[in-house]
Structure 1
Amino acid sequence: MTEPNLGGSTALGPTAFTADDYAHRMARATAAATSAGLDGVVVTPGPDLVWLTGYTPTAVTERLTMLVLAPGTEPALLVPALERGDAATAVAPPPSTCGPGATGRTRTRWPPACSGGGRRFGVSDSTWAMHVLGLQEAVPDLRLAALTRCLPMLRAVKDDAELDRLARAGAAADAAYEEIVGAPFAGRKESEVAADLDALLRRFGHEQVDFTLVASGPDGADPHHEAGERVIEHGDVVVLDFGGLLSGYGSDTTRTVVVGEPTEEVREVHEVVRRAQQAGVEAVRPGATCQDVDRAARTVIADAGYGEKFIHRTGHGIGVTTHEPPYMVEGEEQPLVPGMCFSVEPGIYLQGRFGVRIEDIVAVGPDGLGRRLNNTDRALRVVG
């Protein structure tokens, strides 16, 4: 895959998205809704609203904020009256206001696009239940479906500017890894190493750190272990999984290190995972589907006799959040499309002993092949 187009970026970072960029995204979403047989989409605060408008409310409360997109109508953004000033300076569509009644419940005139019997709208997954129920009460014949079910690929295909941001986030995470492996591990708590990783991600440009998983020894057999008070010992295998947001786009990478010289078993397991991860990346090719990536990685691990020890999907999409569609998992027949970005992160987990995982973010290029956005050494690294 060719490098993302960095035109428009500066030495200090990528240029800001414009009102035209957001208008184009809203038009894309409206067209996708029509193709899916929907009459429109309803978007409340969360990643979909950020991606479509650039607007993040200062506070997400019981007061309704809602973007409505429907064919043949202008985008409509409803915000509480006290939020109108912020919304007017931050988004492409001019906001209109709705205010709470004496009970705190929102009273508003729903956009005409939502009215009429039998209409079916996609609604963002982050919508509060009270707002979904309120909308159904106000428009009884309105049918709603979760956006990730009816439009799962809405944010999945990135343009050059988004690829630029993802590449920068990946490079910053790589820089954090290269620094952390030079720090002492033995005799320190997992939480202390995790705090170092947090500081390094911020030092290299992340405005938000979402997770710094440090799982040593038997803790590494839990894929989502939170860094705890366990003291890392000589001989421990340590899984490092970390990421967050830089310029609004995500990083997520995993490497496995060992404190001191590894045993032959540790070397073997790590090599199996490394080959599985390589196979998953190489499965990204024209005509491939999401499940093909999962199958390629899983086959290597199963053939080595560790099939039951790989207990999660091979990958997930990434963009304005660190986990989003598409998912690299058996049964997901979505074709890989140029511009998609997702993790490839197989692992082996030996309960009570140790775990190994290797993860890179991969972007699908215009030729249909994959390119890693993480480029640190995937070999087993010995730390002190």
Structure 2
Amino acid sequence: MYFEISEFHERLKKTKESMLRNKIEVLVVSDPANMNYLTGYDGWSFYVHQGLVVALDRDEPLWWGRGMDGNGAKLTTWLSPDSIRPYADDYVQNVFRHPMSFVADIIREHGWERKNLGVEADNYWFTGKCLRTLSEELPSMEITDATSLVNWVRVIKSPAEIRYMKQAARVCEHVMETAVNSITTGARESSAAANVYHACITGTDEFTGDHPAIFPIMPSNERTTCAHLGWDPERKYAPGDLVLLELCGVRFRYHCPLSRTVYIGTPPEKLRKVADTVLRGVEETLAFIRPGVTAEEVEARWRKAIEGSGVVKPSRLGYSIGANYVPDWGEHTLSLRPGDKTVLKPGMTIHLMPGIWEDDFGFENSEPFLVTDTGCEPFCSFPRKILTR
């Protein structure tokens, strides 16, 4: 266990308080990051249906999942044996039988079938068939969309979580340095990516790393016009190459992402002008951030900082980060963009990501940060500039 059991109890308490506010008496959790947050469960088993049942009148969540993963729940969670409910393997990928029928059995067994039920309706792991099965099996339950209910509980980090994210930041710095040093004329792009994976998982002498929720985003040249492309496995680096790096360090599933831009040779004037604008915007935006401002006010301060430069960023400026699994290290809560009136509070952890993707090239220089009592604290210490090779 990477956290004290008392911390899990506090997380569960806050989750139940949110359930009460939303008139939810029973909650089915299917997001593996939320499962991890509430119980500690950590397994690569989310390719089949699994989850938790959290009820207001039960002290512990009920873990449910594939039978062969039950021992994993015993090893990685604080739950008692009675709270671990594995299902038979004939529920797995069977068109005639669905694991949500097993969940419905659990709900009926505890007499919850007439209570209000919340489900994470809009995430990667809860399907249309999940909802249909629950609706058919539990016709007396009122089903409410509880998407991101637990995510919003997670948005303010505990001291222990912040400690792990700072450790992930040290790993991230090592990963980024490894990537930059791997980008040399004649080197294979795939070899650079392999070095990044190795650095991410091995970590530093002080802190080991972990597998990332997002693969290394490191496109070159015209591929930098796109936001989420990887390396070219058939290509070698050459003079005049532009490379974007969007990488991360991971510690016990807690992610610290960072983006930088590399150029082999002397950067062209157009790239330098965009870089100067973005870097000025990053500096002024970070200086503006403090508790009490809203997410949209942060984005507005960024736009003011780059006003008149010709640089335009139509996508959001950043998002909340923390513990997660594939396919995303974002928490799916606050976004730094117009209309998001979330008030920043101490303990929030956010990725300021002012990526610019033009028709002919891209530029990235991001900063993950912690909202403090008086302002914000960047997690990483890495040069903010075009990194040349």
Q: What TM-score bracket applies, with the shorter chain setting the length?
A: 0.7 to 0.9
1:208 aligns with 2:211: yes
Residues 232, 98 of structure 1: alpha-carbon distance in 2 compared, 3 angstrom cutoff: closer
Q: 1:96 Cα deviation (Å)?
A: 4.5
Which residue number corresponds to residue 8 of structure 1? none
Tell me, yes or no, if the aligned pair for 2:173 and 2:249 is still in contact at 8 Å: no
Q: Which runs of 5 or more residues in structure 1 are unaligned? A: 1-14
Please say which of residues 237-246 and 77-86 is displaced more in the overlay. Answer: 77-86
Query: What SS does structure 1 have at the residue aligned with 2:216?
Result: strand
Distance in 2 (CA, whole Å) between partners of 1:366 and 1:90 is 33
Tell me, yes or no, if the aligned pair for 2:179 and 2:193 is still in contact at 8 Å: no
Distance in 1 (CA, whole Å) between partners of 2:106 and 2:200 is 45
Tell me, yes or no, if the aligned pair for 1:152 and 1:326 is still in contact at 8 Å: no
1:178 aligns with 2:177: yes
Which residue number corresponds to residue 350 of structure 1? 358
Please say which of residues 167-176 and 127-136 is displaced more in the overlay. Answer: 127-136
1:68 aligns with 2:79: no
Higher RCO (CA < 8 A, seq sep 6+): 1
Which amino acid in structure 2 is aligned with residue 306 of structure 1? V
Q: 1:44 Cα deviation (Å)?
A: 2.5
Query: What SS does structure 1 have at the residue aligned with 2:85?
Result: strand
Which residue number corresponds to residue 87 of structure 1? 73
Which amino acid in structure 1 is aligned with residue 342 of structure 2? Q
Distance in 2 (CA, whole Å) between partners of 1:168 and 1:225 is 27
How many residues end up aligned between the 2 structures? 362
Which amino acid in structure 2 is aligned with residue 359 of structure 1? S
Distance in 2 (CA, whole Å) between partners of 1:20 and 1:122 is 26
Residues 221, 358 of structure 1: alpha-carbon distance in 2 compared, 3 angstrom cutoff: same
Tell me, yes or no, if the aligned pair for 1:41 and 1:122 is still in contact at 8 Å: yes
Once superposed, what is the RMSD of the aligned Cα atoms?
A: 2.5
Which residue number corresponds to residue 252 of structure 1? 257
Tell me, yes or no, if the aligned pair for 1:45 and 1:57 is still in contact at 8 Å: no
Q: Note the 1:285-364 alignment, pairs <5 A.
A: 285-307=290-312, 310-321=313-324, 322-324=329-331, 325-352=333-360, 354-364=361-371
Q: 1:378 Cα deviation (Å)?
A: 0.3
Q: 1:153 Cα deviation (Å)?
A: 1.4
Q: Which runs of 5 or more residues in structure 2 are unaligned? A: none
Distance in 2 (CA, whole Å) between partners of 1:83 and 1:186 is 46
Q: Note the 1:1-384 alignment, pairs <5 A.
A: 16-44=2-30, 46-57=32-43, 59-60=45-46, 62=48, 65-79=50-64, 80-94=66-80, 95-97=83-85, 99-100=87-88, 103-106=96-99, 107=102, 108-110=105-107, 112=110, 114-116=112-114, 119-123=116-120, 125=123, 126-140=125-139, 141-148=141-148, 150=149, 152-204=151-203, 205-209=208-212, 210-228=214-232, 229-307=234-312, 310-321=313-324, 322-324=329-331, 325-352=333-360, 354-367=361-374, 369-383=375-389
Q: 1:207 Cα deviation (Å)?
A: 1.6
Query: What SS does structure 1 have at the residue aligned with 2:384?
Result: coil
Query: What SS does structure 1 have at the residue aligned with 2:118?
Result: strand
Distance in 2 (CA, whole Å) between partners of 1:36 and 1:104 is 31
Query: What SS does structure 2 have at the residue aligned with 1:194?
Result: helix
Tell me, yes or no, if the aligned pair for 2:166 and 2:379 is still in contact at 8 Å: yes
Residues 331, 299 of structure 1: alpha-carbon distance in 2 compared, 3 angstrom cutoff: same
Q: 1:247 Cα deviation (Å)?
A: 2.1
The TM-score with structure 2 as length reference comes to 0.84
